[in-house]
Structure formats: C-alpha cells, structure tokens
A = this chain, B = another copy of it.
Amino acid sequence: MPKLRVHNLAVSIDGYVAGPDQSLENPLGVGGMGLHEWAFATRTGHRMQDTDGGDEGLDDELLAQGDVGIGATIMGRNMFGPVRGPWGGDQWTGWWGENPPYHHPVFVLTHYPHPSITMQGGTTFHFVDDGIEAALDRAKDAAEGADVRIGGGASTVQQYLRAGLIDEMHLAVVPILLGGGERLFDHLDGGPDGYECVEFVSSPGVAHVRFRRAPK
C-alpha cells in the first residue's frame, strides 16, 4: 500500500514551523530561516540549490530519504506562493525557480481554480480546489504506486493529521526558540493520537523523530 509521508518538517523547540510576521520579504517569518540551516548545509541541500559540496552524515541521509520512493507531493497554497485570494495573473510559478526540486507532480491545495503549470525537470504544479481527500486521490493516481509526500506547511499537515491520513511523519527538531509564528501541533482535535515514535536520532544540530501511525 502506498503511504502518505511527511519528511524533514523542521520545528523549533517551542513548536513553530515558521516564525512570527511572515511576509513576502520574509516568507518563513522572523527567525524562520534558522529552522532550515541544517538542511542547506548538507550535500543534498546543496544539490537542491544546484551547488556542489555540502556535508554528508545523518542530516544529509535523512534529508535525502525524504525523496526516496515519492511519486507525488501535496502542498498548501501558502507554501506554493505569497498570493492570497483569487489568483489574478498566472505569473507566479512557485518559490523554486524554473527547475523546482520536486521532479514529479505537485498538487497545490487552493480554494481558487488555476491551470496546471509545467516546469522544467519533471515538476508540474496542479491546483486542487475540491478538498484534501480529492488532492490525495489525484496524488496517489499520479504517483503510480509510489508514496505521496505532504510538503507543508503546518496547516496542510494539520488537515491531513486531523483526517487520520498520514502514515509516517519525520520531524527535524531544531534547538532554537522562535517565540511565535505558525505552530505545528495546533487545531488537531486529537489528530496526532495513535502515533508511535519509531526512530529518534540526533546530529549535533538536529533531533530527528520519526512517528508512524500505530496499527488499529
């Protein structure tokens, strides 16, 4: 059975996946970049930015694992871009340049229809306006038997957690305090019940926790 997985979701010690005061200039909020420095420092992180070098080791391995066996990604609209409300023009094609680091179909949750966007390197952005289960169905079809990943952000992860649809969730706990922002474990109505920790390993800069939904 293909799985729905969350990988490399970076969360601060005080529970935030983005800092306070998110804006176009500061899409991760104040201090939010500090959640991702460990990833950018790795070899996999360098490759995603089309640069050489970067550190090997645990952080790199776990970052890379997030791509293994994934055939499609689902993300929230705010992760795709800063436009809110109706789309207006079609200029915005994501934060990631002409060759996004997905290389597979990406399903963007939105309340407003938008034509698909084909990028270089195998990434196509599709826009789904009829709910998270429809998005999951389309992503599973597109993945052709491979797993589906939830790319983020917090609200999207929460919606799928609340619906009990996430099979595995890997969090990267980063030893910083953000003091505010977007909280991962919020609005869950008991959603995270029934997950057990199946892996807990740490690098000098990150504690990696992998939860799996316990069999019912």
Contact = CB atoms under 8 A, between A and B. Distances in A.
B200 A179 contact: no
A177 B202 contact: no
A209 interface: yes
Interface stretch (A87-95, A133-141, A189-197): A189-197
Interface in A51-71: none
Nearest to A16: B185
A171 to B, nearest CB: 7
B15 A173 contact: no
A200 B204 CA distance: 7
B176 A197 contact: yes
A211 B177 contact: yes
Interface in A89-146: none
A83 interface: no
Given A190-B180, A207-B202, A207-B207, A197 B175 contact: yes
A216 B175 CA distance: 21
